[in-house]
Structure 1
Amino acid sequence: MKPFFAELFQYTFRFNDKVTDALIAGNIVPMPEKALTLLNHTINAHEIWNARINGSKCHTQVWEMRPIDKLKAINAQNYQDSLAILESTDIETVISYTNSKGQAFTNTVKDILFHVINHSTYHRGQIAISCKENGITPLVTDYIFYKRDLEV
C-alpha cells in the first residue's frame, strides 16, 4: 500500500507542479483568479495535513494566498514531507487533530493521505473548469495521463 501511496503523491506533485509552471510561464493568461485561489488552497491544505500527521504546528491558513513563485517550492516540500511520512509512519495510526473551524476529529494516516491526493485531484479539476470558462485550454492532469507519460 505504501508504494502505491508514494506513486500517487508523485502524481500529485507532478501535476500540481505542471499547473504552477503553466501559470508562472504565462501559458495561462489572463490567469483566472479562481484558478490561482484553488491552486493555493490545494497546496496549503497538503501542507496543513502533513503537519497534522506529524503533530507539528502549521502557520499556513487553508485559503491563504501566497506568491505563485513560492508555490513550486512549497509543493516540492509537501511531496518530500509526504514521502517521509510514508517511510516513518504506520498508515493505520490514528491521528487526532483540530480542523480550521476548531472542531476535533480523528482519522487514520491512510485516510488522511488518501484525502490529500483526492483533494488535490478535485481542485485541479476545478482549476481546469475555471480556465475553460475563461477561454483557456486547461492542462490535462488525469492520472492515466501521468501513467502514460511514465511509459514513454
Structure 2
Amino acid sequence: MKQFFIELFDYNHQCNLKLCEAFVENQDKVSEKAIKIFNHLLNAHQIWNSRILQKEISTSVWEIRPLYDLEEIEINNHNQSLEILNSKTLDEKIHYSNTKGQKFSNNILDILFHIINHSTYHRGQIASDFRQNGLEPIVTDFIVYKRQ
C-alpha cells in the first residue's frame, strides 16, 4: 500500500510541477481565481503534512504566495509526504484541529488519500479556468502519467 501512495504522490508532484511552470510562463493570462485555487491546493497539502508530522502550521489555507515560490512549496510538500510514507504507519491515528478549531481524528491513510483527491479536484477547476481564459489546460490524467 505504501508503494502505491509513493506512486500517487509522485503523480501529484509531477502534475503540480507542470502547473507551477504554466503559472510562471503564463502569468499575464492566468486568472486570480486560478492562482487562488492553486495556492489553496498547495497550502492544504502543507497543512495536512504539518498535522501528520505534528509541526507548527506556517500558512493559512487561502494564503496567496508569489508565483515564483510555488515550485519550492510543491517540492517541500512532496518531500514531507515521502517522509511521512517512510516513517509512519498508515493506520496511525492523527488528532488535530481544523481551521475552525474543531477537533478530529483520522488515520494517515485517509489523510494522504484526501491530499491526493483534494489536489486532483482543484487541478480540474484550474484546467476549466485555464480554458475559459484562453490557456491550454495541463494534462493531469493519472493514466497519462502511467503511460510515461
Q: Which range, TM-score by smaller chain?
A: over 0.9
Structure 1 distance, partners of 2:87, 2:70, is 25
Please state if 1:21 is matched with 2:18: no
Equivalent residue, structure 2, for 1:101: 100
Q: Percent identity?
A: 49
Equivalent residue, structure 2, for 1:12: 12
Kindly report which structure 2 residues correspond to 1:44-55, keeping only aligned pairs within 5 A, or say none. 44-55=43-54
Kindly report which structure 2 residues correspond to 1:114-125, keeping only aligned pairs within 5 A, or say none. 114-125=113-124
Q: Offset at 1:140?
A: 1.0
In structure 2, give the amino acid aligned to 1:128. A
Q: Offset at 1:135?
A: 2.3
Equivalent residue, structure 2, for 1:131: 130
Please state if 1:111 is matched with 2:106: no
Equivalent residue, structure 2, for 1:63: 62
Task: Extract unaligned runs of 5+ from structure 1.
Answer: none
Q: In structure 2, the residue corresponding to 1:105 is in which secondary structure?
A: strand
In structure 2, give the amino acid aligned to 1:123. H
In structure 1, give the amino acid aligned to 2:7. E
In structure 2, give the amino acid aligned to 1:92. D
Q: Offset at 1:133?
A: 1.6
Structure 2 distance, partners of 1:103, 1:142, is 34
TM-score, normalised on structure 1?
0.94
Q: Which runs of 4+ in 1 moved over 2 A?
A: none
Q: In structure 1, the residue corresponding to 2:122 is in which secondary structure?
A: helix
Q: Offset at 1:29?
A: 4.2
Residues 69-116 of structure 1: CA deviation (Å, up to 9, x unaligned): 001001001101000100100110010100111111110000000000
Equivalent residue, structure 1, for 2:88: 89
Structure 2 distance, partners of 1:14, 1:38, is 18
Equivalent residue, structure 1, for 2:141: 142
How many residues matched? 148
Structure 2 distance, partners of 1:14, 1:87, is 19
RMSD: 1.0
